[in-house]
Amino acid sequence: MSGVSVDDSDTVPAADQRSGGRRPPLRSAFTLGLLVKVAFLATVNALSLWALTQMVVEGVWLAVTFLVVATVAIDVIYLNTKRWSIPYKYLLPGTIFLLVFQLYPVIYTAYISTTNLGTGNILDKDEAIDQVVATSIGTTESGTTYVSQAAIDDDGTLGLILLDEATDPPSLYIGTSEELTPIEESDVTRDGDRITGAAGFTALTLGEAADYEQDLAALEVPADEGVIRLRTFNRAALVEYRIQYDEATDTMLDTATGVVYAPSDGYFVSDDGQRLTPGWQINIGFENYKRVFQSEAIRGPFFRVFIWNWVFAAGTVTFGFALGLLLAMSLDHPKLRGKKLYRSLLIFPYALPSFLTVLVWQGMMNQNFGIINQLTGLDTPWLTDPWMARVSVLIVSTWLTFPYFFLVSTGALQSIPEDLTEAARVDGANGAQAFRAVTLPLLLVAVAPLIIASFAFNFNNFNVIYMLNRGGPPIPGAETPAGNTDILVTYTYRLAFESGRGQDLAFATAISILIFLHVALFSAWSFRKTARLEEI
Partner 1 sequence: MRASRRLIAVVAGLSIIAAACGSDDDSSADESDTTEAEVDTTEAATETTEAETETTEAETETETTEAETETTEAETEATTPETTVPPVVRAEADLVIWADDTRTPVITPLAEAFGEANGITTAVQEVNFDDIRDRLATAGPAGEGPDVIIGAHDWLGQLVTSGLLAPVDLPNAADFSEVAVQAMSYDGQLYGVPYAIENIALLRNVDLVPEAPASLEELEQIALGLVESGEAEIPLAIQNDPGDPFHNFPLYTAAGGYLFGQNPDGSLNPDDLGLDSEGGLAAGAQFQAWAESGLLQAGLSYDIMIESFGNGEAPFAITGPWAVADPDRGFKATGVNYVVEPIPPLNGTTASPFVGVQGFMVSAFAENPLFAQTFITEVMTTEDVQTDLFVAGGRPPANISAFEAAAAGDPDIEGFGQSGINGQPMPAIPEMGSVWSAWTDAYALILNGTSSGEQAFQDAADQIRALIAEG
Residue list 311-370, contact with partner 1 (CB under 8 A): 355-356, 359, 363, 366-370
Q: Which helix (H) or strand (E) holds 531?
A: helix 505-531
Does 462 help bind partner 1 (rule: CB under 8 A)? yes
Instruction: Choose between 135 and 202: whose C-beta lies nearer to partner 1.
Output: 135
483 counts as binding partner 1 under rule CB under 8 A? yes
Q: Which stretch binds partner 1 (CB under 8 A): 94-102, 397-405, 438-446, 472-480?
A: 472-480
Contact set for partner 1, span 48-77 (CB under 8 A):
49-50, 53, 75
Q: Are 402 and 410 in contact (CB under 8 A)?
A: no
Nearest CA-CA partner of 133 in 238, 268, 225, 230: 268
- Looking from the CA of 202 toward its CB, the CA atoms found within 13 Å total 6
Instruction: Considering the complex, state which of residue 247 and residue 296 has its C-beta at the smaller distance from partner 1.
Output: 296
Nearest CA-CA partner of 448 in 518, 527, 350, 525? 527
The binding track of 215-254 with respect to partner 1, each residue x by CB under 8 A or -, is -xx------------xxxxxx-x-----------------
Q: Please report which residue ranges of 59-193 form alpha helices under DSSP H.
A: 61-79, 85-98, 104-112, 125-134
429 three-class SS: coil
Q: Smaller CB distance to partner 1: residue 53 or 330?
A: 53
Contact 392, 468 (CB under 8 A): yes
Kindly state whether residue 95 participates in binding partner 1, applying the rule CB under 8 A.
no
**Min. distance of Cβ 173 from partner 1 in angstroms?**
19
**Binding span for partner 1 by CB under 8 A among 379-387, 410-418, 434-442, 520-528:** 379-387
Q: Which pairing describes strands 251-254 and 275-276: parallel, antiparallel, or unpaired? A: unpaired
Site residues for partner 1, 491-510, by CB under 8 A, read: 493-494, 497-503
Per the CB < 8 A criterion, the answer to whether 180 and 223 are in contact is yes
Cβ atoms of 464 and 358 within 8 Å: the answer is yes
In the complex with partner 1, the residue whose CB is nearer, 95 or 367, is 367
Nearer to partner 1, 19 or 368 (CB): 368
Contacts of 371 (CB under 8 A, 6+ apart): 363, 364
- Crossing angle of helices 85-98 and 61-79, in 10° steps, is 150
Q: Name the DSSP letter for residue 532.
A: G
Q: Please list every residue from 108 through 167 that binds partner 1, using CB under 8 A.
A: 119-124, 127-128, 131-132, 134-135, 137-138, 145
Shortest CB 168 distance to partner 1, Å: 20
- Among 463, 485, 492, 512, contact with partner 1 (rule: CB under 8 A): 463
From the CB of 362, what's the least distance to partner 1, in Å? 9
Nearer to partner 1, 201 or 268 (CB): 268
The length of the chain is 536
Distance of closest approach, residue 94 Cβ to partner 1, in angstroms: 22
In 427-483, which ranges are continuous DSSP H helix? 431-434, 440-459, 462-469
Name the residue nearer to partner 1 (CB basis): 181 or 366: 366
Task: Please state the closest distance from residue 337 (CB atom) to partner 1, in A.
Answer: 37
Is residue 510 within 8 A of residue 495, CB to CB? The reply is no
Q: Which is nearer to partner 1, 402 or 466 (CB)?
A: 466
Residue 356 CB partners (closer than 8 Å, separation 6+): none
Cβ neighbours of residue 9 under 8 Å, at least 6 residues apart?
17, 22
Of the residues 153, 240, 287, 479, which one makes contact with partner 1 according to CB under 8 A: 479
Residues 26-45 that bind partner 1 (CB under 8 A): 26, 30, 34, 38-39, 41-45
For residues 449 and 481, which CB has a smaller minimum distance to partner 1 in the complex?
A: 481
